[in-house]
Copies of this chain bind each other. A is one copy, B any other.
Amino acid sequence: MENTSIIYGRNSIIEALKSGRRNFNRIMISRSLRPDAKIDLIKEYAANSGIPFVFAEKEQFTKYNEYNHQGVIAFVSPIDYVELENFMANHKENASIVLLDGVEDPHNIGAIIRTCVCAGIDAIMLPSRRGTLVNEIVEKTSAGAINHISVIKVNSPVSALQKLKENNWWVIASDHHSDNNHYDIDFLNMNFVLVMGAEHAGISKSIINLADFRIKIPMLTEFNSLNVSVATGIIIYEYVRQKLTGRRRI
């Protein structure tokens, strides 16, 4: 394959196999690795799908030692990014997107993708020029969640949001200057894009200006410093609460 990604971590590899959405070139496994239930599962999936299984010496793993691979690496096709136009043409009613504006730490991006999948968010949107795209660390920290959600890559988040707004989507920006708390708005009965910014810089001004709603997470002390993946989880799960209880804000 010309363009190959690597996936490491037993769970990430199992999720990628289960999803059926990735093209596996081969799986490389260390000869010195003791088999366990997860390795057996990987072998079984690989055998059923005709994916080559290569036993390798320790030395062949040396160049991947920056990753905590624990003796198993899968070489796969990169994830297929979804075009915004395709997503807009095919989404369900009351759909939801999380847009990360300038979030750089791949561990945070991975954790946010896990949360989005747990919460039934329909897509994650990543700008190609601001922040980090899907890489090995995002794959790993997403624990395979990356295979269960549409990932939309956009060149300009501003024009993507404008396009969405013209098509009956509402833009919700997380902004600590807002007067509204995150539970003050009604997430139901609409398509929404939730925009989360970088931990320090926040969301860019041009996006704040496009927002239909601005919300903040209230702070009970002077110390204003939530991790961005925690903040995203808090807001998304307020949406889940409203959705499951059928209760808007009262």
Contacts and interface: CB of A to CB of B under 8 A. Distances in A.
Contacts of A241: 181, 183, 238
Given A230-B229, A233-B234, A237-B217, A223 B145 contact: yes
B245 A115 contact: no
A98 interface: no
Contacts of A111: 227, 229-230
A250 B248 CA distance: 12
Q: How many copies does the complex hold?
A: 2
A174 B232 CA distance: 20
Size bracket, chain A contacts: 35 or more
Which of A115, A148, A181, A225 has the largest number of chain B CB atoms within 10 A? Answer: A225
Nearest to A142: B225
Given A234-B233, A247-B250, A250-B247, A120 B220 contact: yes
Contact of A118 (B118, B181, B224, B238): B224
Which of A217, A224, A244 has the largest number of chain B CB atoms within 10 A? Answer: A217
